[in-house]
A and B are shown apart, each in its own frame.
Chain A
Amino acid sequence: MNQPQTMSQKILASRAGLPYVEPGAIVEAELDMVLANDVSTPMAIRGFKEIGGERVFDPSRVVLVADHFTPNKDVGSALITKEMNEFASSNHLEHRFQGGRSGISHVLLAERGLILPGELAVGADSRMVTHGAMGAFATGVGASDLAAALVTGRGWFQVPSTTKVELGGEMGPWIGGMDIALALLRLLGPEGAHYQSLEFSGPLVPRLSMDARLTISNLMVESGAKAALFPVDQVTTDYLKDKAKRSWASVAPDPEAVYSKTVKLDVTGLEPQAARPHRPHDVAPARRAGYEPVDQVFIGSCAAARLEDLRVAAKILSGRQVHPRVRLMVIPPTPRIMLQAVREGLVETFLAAGGIMGPPSCGPCAGAQLGVLAAGEVAVATANRNYRGRMGHPSSRIYLAGPAVAAASAILGRVADPAEVLS
């Protein structure tokens, strides 16, 4: 009889062609999907050529997304996009996203059903963990890994041990995926999931939407997680019904699977959260997070700006005005989300409140473009990193929060709980 395994072990074992994999062992495994973006592709193409690669291993299992610098912000980034396009064309890639079809890779790949339950995927971007929401083992690698993966369709993995995360309780008003994610980061700290795979369970999970799950998995890399998997359930099946590009098979942990530890979070009574500068784990209730004036609010990124999040922000901004000092940047993460936001009147709400709409892209999240911060400026962002200098000048300061807190902060010009606006 086989030894019991977690979801993560099962996926790695199946792709390595083994009945069982032991945590700590290094295995080589077949990849179901490989993602490259405009930060990692130039180095990966260089590596691809150095390896002597001629064609990618499978043109249907490679995705190229220009998201960090799109639309081309300068000549350097234009050259990167050009190189990506040439690579995509010469390799007959089925999935390339640029120009008006581009968006943030981790939001795009989920909405297009390109990474599925039980699959093993890598991307040269730390946010690959996002796709754990789908019940996939997805993890970030570097450009060399990417180059090797493009040629061979394989990668090396040290099998992580698994931490069980039990989510329970009742979500209060204005609580969403981002608040749960930040509360978890506070609980885990910067190294709480170091080299670990997280697997979520507990009575709250069936009540979490796919958008909320994607946000939670997305943030877990800040605690060092290698992957962050949700169970495959009805929410997953419903979400993928019209999206999945391939057939897929469900995967679940064995009842006797061994976990290195169990972490529990009860969300009952949890207030809207905010992470203070300069660490995503320095989390407090938004109403007490900080009293300094805010210069910019960014509602965007692959963390918490999906349709559900934009609806929450619009609900708070509707009929209200952004504080005169504040620049509100709203950047829907994909064209589909933006189109739906137009149809639902959300974009009108943002513009009427005094916000700026940006084209689907990473925007200012990584400090590359579209809302970079000046010296000493303070921002609230529905993003996932607030390390020093992340969104611009090294002396700028970033608070991370969900869309409700971001919208409330834009109105009041300081980090605020939505209840402070609505009362």
Chain B
Amino acid sequence: MISGMAWVFGDHISSDAIIPARYLHQRDPHSWSKVVLGDLRPEFAGQVGFGDFIVAGRNFGCGSSREQAPLAIKNAGVGAVIAHSFSRMFYRNAFNMGLLVFTCPEAAARVHDGDRLRLDPYSGLIEDVEQDTSFQAKPVDPFLTDLVSQGGLIKKVRKQITGR
């Protein structure tokens, strides 16, 4: 069970908004989590708590294929991203990186900024403590569940190649 506070964002939050290209030449992967989503909410990176949720609208992560976007979110301590829908590459990268993402239009429409949420990552059931209600996220393909349970793509392929 993951629990934390909801940080609500709008539709079409692009990878440029998550982590602008002007930071991409910095080679320390942890530097990105300090500026993540800063153009939209400068206070986010400093105040987000471990296990907090990003709750967003349509097409979250649209734009470039940069894996720095889900990585910056994961390294900032975000427990999961819940959105109405995700861009293809953000969705793909998130599973490859081991960041949990859930598609749930109901939660995206109804969760308020600051609501305390509890999420069961196995069932995809999202509980909104403030509103005393719950939402069911869309099921995830078993291939992807397996990918996350193996720790992401790098660890999965390592196991295939080296046997450990």
Q: What is A's interface to B at a CB cutoff of 8 Å?
A: 26, 39-40, 42-43, 47, 50-53, 68-69, 73-74, 76-77, 79-80, 124-126, 128, 140-145, 147-148, 151-152, 156, 158, 190-191, 194-195, 222, 224, 226, 279, 366-368, 372, 385, 387-390, 392, 394
Q: Could you list 20 examples of A-B contacts with CB < 8 Å?
A: A26-B144, A39-B24, A40-B65, A43-B67, A43-B68, A47-B154, A124-B67, A125-B65, A140-B89, A141-B89, A142-B93, A143-B67, A144-B67, A190-B58, A194-B59, A194-B87, A279-B12, A367-B20, A387-B14, A388-B14
Q: What is B's interface to A at a CB cutoff of 8 Å?
A: 12, 14, 16-17, 20-22, 24-27, 29, 39, 58-59, 62-68, 70-71, 85, 87-89, 92-93, 96-97, 141, 143-144, 152-155, 157-158, 160-162
- Known contacts being A140-B89, A191-B85, is A368 close to B157, with CB within 8 Å? no
Which 4 pairs across A and B sit closest by C-beta, in order of nearness?
A: A142-B67, A142-B93, A366-B21, A140-B65
Distance in angstroms between the alpha carbons of A140 and B160 in the assembled complex: 23
Whether A144 and B153, one on each chain, are in contact in the complex, defined by CB atoms closer than 8 angstroms, is yes
Whether A387 and B87, one on each chain, are in contact in the complex, defined by CB atoms closer than 8 angstroms, is no
Among residues of A, the one whose C-beta sits closest to the C-beta of B91 is: A195
Whether A26 and B143, one on each chain, are in contact in the complex, defined by CB atoms closer than 8 angstroms, is yes
Distance in angstroms between the alpha carbons of A279 and B10 in the assembled complex: 14
Whether A368 and B39, one on each chain, are in contact in the complex, defined by CB atoms closer than 8 angstroms, is no
Whether A151 and B161, one on each chain, are in contact in the complex, defined by CB atoms closer than 8 angstroms, is yes
Whether B25 and A74, one on each chain, are in contact in the complex, defined by CB atoms closer than 8 angstroms, is yes
| Contact for B154 among A68, A141, A144, A368, CB less than 8 A | A144
Contacts of B39 in A (CB 8 A): 388-389, 394
Contacts of B62 in A (CB 8 A): 190, 222, 224
- Known contacts being A142-B97, A367-B22, is A51 close to B59, with CB within 8 Å? no
Whether A142 and B92, one on each chain, are in contact in the complex, defined by CB atoms closer than 8 angstroms, is yes
Whether B58 and A151, one on each chain, are in contact in the complex, defined by CB atoms closer than 8 angstroms, is no
Contacts of A68 in B (CB 8 A): 21, 24
Whether B154 and A191, one on each chain, are in contact in the complex, defined by CB atoms closer than 8 angstroms, is no
Whether A389 and B20, one on each chain, are in contact in the complex, defined by CB atoms closer than 8 angstroms, is yes
Among residues of A, the one whose C-beta sits closest to the C-beta of B96 is: A144
Contacts of B63 in A (CB 8 A): 126, 385, 387
Distance in angstroms between the alpha carbons of A50 and B93 in the assembled complex: 17
Whether A39 and B66, one on each chain, are in contact in the complex, defined by CB atoms closer than 8 angstroms, is yes
Contacts of A226 in B (CB 8 A): 88
Among residues of A, the one whose C-beta sits closest to the C-beta of B162 is: A52
Whether A387 and B16, one on each chain, are in contact in the complex, defined by CB atoms closer than 8 angstroms, is yes
Contacts of A158 in B (CB 8 A): 141
Distance in angstroms between the alpha carbons of A224 and B59 in the assembled complex: 9
Whether B93 and A144, one on each chain, are in contact in the complex, defined by CB atoms closer than 8 angstroms, is yes
Distance in angstroms between the alpha carbons of A79 and B16 in the assembled complex: 23
| Contact for A26 among B17, B25, B141, B153, CB less than 8 A | B141
The distance from the CB of A247 to the nearest CB of chain B, in whole angstroms, is 30
Contacts of A50 in B (CB 8 A): 154-155, 158
The distance from the CB of A383 to the nearest CB of chain B, in whole angstroms, is 12
The distance from the CB of A4 to the nearest CB of chain B, in whole angstroms, is 25
The distance from the CB of A328 to the nearest CB of chain B, in whole angstroms, is 22
Distance in angstroms between the alpha carbons of A69 and B27 in the assembled complex: 13
Contacts of A387 in B (CB 8 A): 14, 16-17, 63
Distance in angstroms between the alpha carbons of A406 and B47 in the assembled complex: 42
| Contact for A368 among B24, B68, B70, CB less than 8 A | B24
Whether B25 and A145, one on each chain, are in contact in the complex, defined by CB atoms closer than 8 angstroms, is no
Contacts of A141 in B (CB 8 A): 65, 89, 92-93
Whether A51 and B154, one on each chain, are in contact in the complex, defined by CB atoms closer than 8 angstroms, is yes
Whether B88 and A194, one on each chain, are in contact in the complex, defined by CB atoms closer than 8 angstroms, is yes
Whether B141 and A148, one on each chain, are in contact in the complex, defined by CB atoms closer than 8 angstroms, is no
- Known contacts being A43-B68, A80-B25, is A390 close to B157, with CB within 8 Å? no
Whether A191 and B58, one on each chain, are in contact in the complex, defined by CB atoms closer than 8 angstroms, is yes
The distance from the CB of A76 to the nearest CB of chain B, in whole angstroms, is 4
Distance in angstroms between the alpha carbons of A118 and B56 in the assembled complex: 37
The distance from the CB of A243 to the nearest CB of chain B, in whole angstroms, is 26
The distance from the CB of A237 to the nearest CB of chain B, in whole angstroms, is 30
Among residues of A, the one whose C-beta sits closest to the C-beta of B155 is: A50
| Contact for B157 among A39, A40, A43, A148, CB less than 8 A | A148
The distance from the CB of A272 to the nearest CB of chain B, in whole angstroms, is 25
Among residues of A, the one whose C-beta sits closest to the C-beta of B93 is: A142
